[in-house]
A and B are shown apart, each in its own frame.
Chain A
Amino acid sequence: MSSSEDKNKKRTLVLRPSSRAGNVSVSGRYGNQSSRTGSRKSLSLGGGSKVLDKSHVHIPRPAVRVFDEDNNVVTPQPLYQADPGTAQAKGSRFFMNEISGGSDQTTATGSFTMPFSKPVFGSSRISSQSTIESVNEEIEDTFSKRDQPISIPDVKLKKSTVKEPVTEEMLKEIIDVFLTETDTISLLDIPSAFVSVDADEADAVIERNNQYAEVCRNRMGNDKYVNRSVQTLNGAAKHKHVQSDSLVMVDAAVTVTTWDMFDTLCNLEQEQTIRSPQPEKTDFPEAVLDSSRAAERSMSVGSTVSSVSASSSVKDVESSGNTANTESELQLIMQSERFQHSLLVMERSILSNIFQPQLAAYRQLLVLEVMFSDPDSPVEQREEDTGSSPSPSLRSLWVFSCKLSRGRSISSMAWNKKNLDLLAVGYGQFNSGDQEPGLVCCWSIKNPTWPEHFIHCDSAVTCLDFSANSPGQLAVGMHDGSITIYNLQSPDKSRVISSHECPKKHLGPVCQLRWIQQELSLTGEDRAEALFSVGADGRICKWFVFGSVLNCTDLMMLKKVTTMKRPGGNKTDKTEENVLSVLTPGLCFDFHPAEPSIYLAGAWEGLIHKCSCSNTQEFLETYHKHFCPVNYITWSPLSPDVFLSCSSDWTIQLWKQDQLNPVLGFTSTRGAVYDVRWSPKWATVFGAVNEQQLEIWDLKTRILDPVIVQPAAPGVTMTSLLFVQQTDCVVVGDSDGQVTIYQLKNLSVGEGSQVNVLEDLLRSAASR
């Protein structure tokens, strides 16, 4: 637009340096005079220090003015008008002083200060004060200076100090120190806006005040004064991003279970009780450790559950790792007691799997017959079952045998009185030939392949028995006459007591041992138990334990009775005859189940003597029948006053206590009968073992023959027999070291214990 061009043209600026005192008309706009500032660097003005050097003031500086075509000064003035009353005022004063030298404007000072004290700049005001403008110019300069945030004060402040090395001579010098007072530094000077009434300027001030009041009054509606609003400019906000280190997040989880809490509590208590004498400090870390370990354990539960594949791959790596550690660990584990126990239980479990049908039959559980038979011949079995009352038979369940016991002849067997699954078997030479060291094996039903305990004895074992009061004690009688009591519950089975050093021990092999409960003790619960033995030296002894030594008293001497038939009532003859008699070996004895003081003793010459504990000299009765050594005597557990005896004369005799002659006699084959036992369940059933076979007799069925006959394996002699207490099984030991368990099958004896049947039988037999 042409008008604007004109304006522009109008505005061509001409820069002319001019003197300070030149008149300047400023149209009221201040601009920046940045071009000027270059020469003004020496002036120290800034926000910080308000110190003005006098010297700097006097530096003449070329003022740059901008004139437009009309010779109007349009030099840009600084926009920023600083707050007066500071060094500006001071600086202005200087200028004022200078200027006042050339002019007489003393009042100008007063009037000059006003625009500063009242920061209301009317543009007209400035323009009206031509004399002040020169001063303003200076002030502009100073203002321009102020526009620049100069680093001059900083420069001033930072002085690089050069350090000189301090020498000793310098230290010894006498240095004069002058103390001077610096000039007064005025940091802030706000001149008072009040003027005293008595002052010289008072009138002028009053006049001006009045003028101003008038102006204010006339302000309203006056065109001279324009209301303008000012807006503060808000600085532009700047977004700034801040980044911090990423937070490391860790997931932690704990599975708490009831037992976890219980364990921690127990461990804490344990720690406290164990460490109570020690200082408290140690308690806490331990407890914390344990709880943390427990927590770890519970945590590891969670972690291992997570991934199977991962864990197995980890294990692969781990297993290929240190083997040295695992070796020692393995040794540690294997020697620990708990491991032994675990092994024991494991072995039994495995064996119960293997022997499951047999064990079930033993325990009288319902067993499928098919399990026993071959898979090839199931038909036969079924036929047998459906048939009418098959014949009684024995079925071999299993055999107790191990390499330790193979080849040794079994001399005696005994059940444990408390643990009915434990069977003690004594191995010793049957025929008194070379006596090799004996062996006692305690077998458990739960493990047919390896004995629970085994004890090596010094000499061949001839008899053994478990104690009833202390079920862990096993008394073993040996071929050399000594009796040893072993405690099976002690870990190393050290012998508890031995009669080896006892002077009154048996001189020959101990033929039979028994623990007998005799009289009621004071408490009434435990019956006093004593160990009785009969030996080949003809003595029946009762043993006591004194400390760790066994000692005995003779209960009876088995004297040889030379005459078979006793002279009627001639006691004196008998005693005379017996004065020089020799003791005859006693082979067996048995105490009456109901009257503990009466017992029977069987002698080598076939006589059975009834004796009493109270009478150690004489027999009460003597039963004659056998003419060979009586191998075993046994009272019937069910029927009172009935006893069986078996002897090497191939016979078994059934006696009643009050009859001197046997009621019944049984013979089946030609062979010495080594053992005879009553069945604990039926009064009419008993079993016998002779050289060739095992016989089960049932007196109810028939008297003349055994009901069941089980021949022995060829070359093997059956030597001992035991009935099992609660089941229909029979244990047979033979000369080869094998203990066989047989189950009685189809032995239809009938209900009840058959005592009446036996009674009737005996009565009928006696009456014959």
Chain B
Amino acid sequence: MLTRRIQGQKGVQGIIIVNSEGIPVKTTLDNSSTVQYAGLIHQLVMKARSTVRDIDPQNDLTFLRVRSKKNEIMIAPDKDYFLIVIQNPSD
């Protein structure tokens, strides 16, 4: 329900919520894509967070946007979950 507004926005291809262990708990995409996204993005976020915090341990990663040719992946990482939204802005 809370994610319905986001789902209804223009160009949003999918929403995935991943828990702290990397298991997707809610998704609007098909299973294989979800699992793939969850696994890969988990690693990316870990790396990004490690980078940010290595530079300054009091800093932390709050948002990550990966823009590619075809779409944009937006990730809101947190201690207990990841919120991943894939959008195609030109749709």
Chain A residues near B (Cβ < 8 Å): 257-259, 261-263, 301, 304-305, 308, 311-312, 315-316, 318-319, 326-327, 329-330, 332-334, 336, 338-340, 342-343, 345-347, 349-351, 353-354, 356, 449-450
Contacts and interface: CB of A to CB of B under 8 A. Distances in A.
Contacts of A336: 80
B87 to A, nearest CB: 5
A330 B47 CA distance: 25
A734 to B, nearest CB: 24
A319 B29 CA distance: 14
B24 A304 contact: no
A316 B19 contact: no
B53 A343 contact: no
Contacts of A340: 2
Contact of B3 (A258, A329, A343, A354): A343
User: What are the 8 closest A-B residue pairs judged by CB atoms, nearest first?
Assistant: A259-B53, A262-B57, A342-B76, A353-B89, A259-B57, A330-B25, A326-B25, A333-B81
B83 A339 contact: yes
B11 A354 contact: yes
A351 B12 CA distance: 10
Given A343-B3, A350-B87, A329 B19 contact: yes
Nearest to B42: A304
A690 B1 CA distance: 41
B77 to A, nearest CB: 8
Given A258-B54, A262-B57, A333-B25, A326 B5 contact: no
Contacts of B53: 257-259, 262
A370 to B, nearest CB: 13
Contacts of A301: 46-47, 50
Interface string B67-81: 000001010101111
A688 to B, nearest CB: 34
Prevailing SS type, chain B contact patch? mixed
A9 B65 CA distance: 112
Nearest to A318: B23
B28 interface: no
B45 to A, nearest CB: 11
B63 A349 contact: yes
Contacts of A349: 63, 65, 74, 85
B6 A315 contact: no
Interface string B55-67: 0011000110100
Contacts of B22: 304, 311, 315
Contacts of B81: 333, 339, 342
B9 A350 contact: yes
A505 B29 CA distance: 56
B78 A339 contact: yes
B39 interface: yes
Given A257-B50, A318-B23, A342-B78, 20 more contacts: A257-B54, A258-B53, A301-B46, A304-B46, A308-B39, A308-B43, A315-B23, A315-B38, A319-B24, A326-B23, A329-B19, A330-B25, A334-B2, A343-B6, A343-B76, A345-B76, A349-B85, A353-B11, A353-B87, A450-B5
Interface residues on B, range: 35 or more
B63 A345 contact: yes
Interface centre among A258, A350, A356 (most CB of B within 10 A): A350
Interface of B: 2-3, 5-6, 9-12, 17, 19, 22-26, 31, 34-36, 38-40, 42-43, 46-47, 50, 53-54, 57-58, 62-63, 65, 72, 74, 76, 78-81, 83, 85, 87, 89
Contacts of A339: 2, 78, 81, 83
Given A319-B31, A339-B81, A346 B6 contact: yes
B80 A333 contact: yes
Contact of B9 (A305, A326, A342, A351): A351
Nearest to B80: A333
B50 A353 contact: no
Nearest to A310: B39
B26 to A, nearest CB: 5
A346 B17 contact: no
B9 to A, nearest CB: 5
A449 B9 contact: yes
B80 A346 contact: no
A342 B77 CA distance: 8
24 contacts: A258-B57, A259-B54, A262-B53, A304-B43, A308-B43, A311-B22, A311-B39, A315-B38, A315-B39, A316-B35, A333-B17, A333-B81, A334-B26, A339-B78, A342-B76, A346-B74, A346-B76, A346-B83, A347-B5, A349-B85, A350-B85, A351-B9, A356-B89, A449-B9
Nearest to A321: B23
B28 to A, nearest CB: 13
Nearest to A255: B50
A308 B47 CA distance: 14
B12 A350 contact: yes
Contacts of B50: 257, 259, 301
Nearest to A352: B89
Given A329-B19, A330-B26, A347 B36 contact: no
Contacts of B25: 326-327, 329-330, 333
A650 B38 CA distance: 62
Contacts of A449: 5, 9
Contacts of A354: 9-11, 89
A330 B17 contact: yes
A343 B5 CA distance: 10
Nearest to A335: B2
Nearest to B19: A329
Interface centre among B22, B31, B40 (most CB of A within 10 A): B22
Contacts of B12: 350
Interface centre among B26, B46, B57 (most CB of A within 10 A): B57
B17 to A, nearest CB: 6
Contacts of A258: 53-54, 57
Interface centre among B6, B11, B39 (most CB of A within 10 A): B39
Nearest to B58: A262
A336 B2 CA distance: 12
Nearest to A316: B35
Nearest to B24: A319
A304 B12 CA distance: 29
A353 to B, nearest CB: 4
Contacts of A305: 43, 47
Nearest to A331: B25
Contact of A326 (B19, B34, B85): B19
B6 A350 contact: yes
Nearest to B52: A259
A381 B45 CA distance: 43
Nearest to A349: B74
Contacts of B63: 345, 349
A45 to B, nearest CB: 80
A319 B23 contact: yes
Contacts of B2: 334, 339-340, 343
Nearest to A322: B23
A336 B78 CA distance: 11
B63 to A, nearest CB: 6
Nearest to B12: A350
B57 A263 contact: yes
Nearest to A447: B5
A439 B78 CA distance: 34
Contacts of B17: 330, 333-334
B31 A347 contact: no
Nearest to A263: B57
Nearest to B54: A258
A350 B54 contact: no
B42 to A, nearest CB: 7
A312 B46 contact: no
Contacts of B36: 312
B59 to A, nearest CB: 9
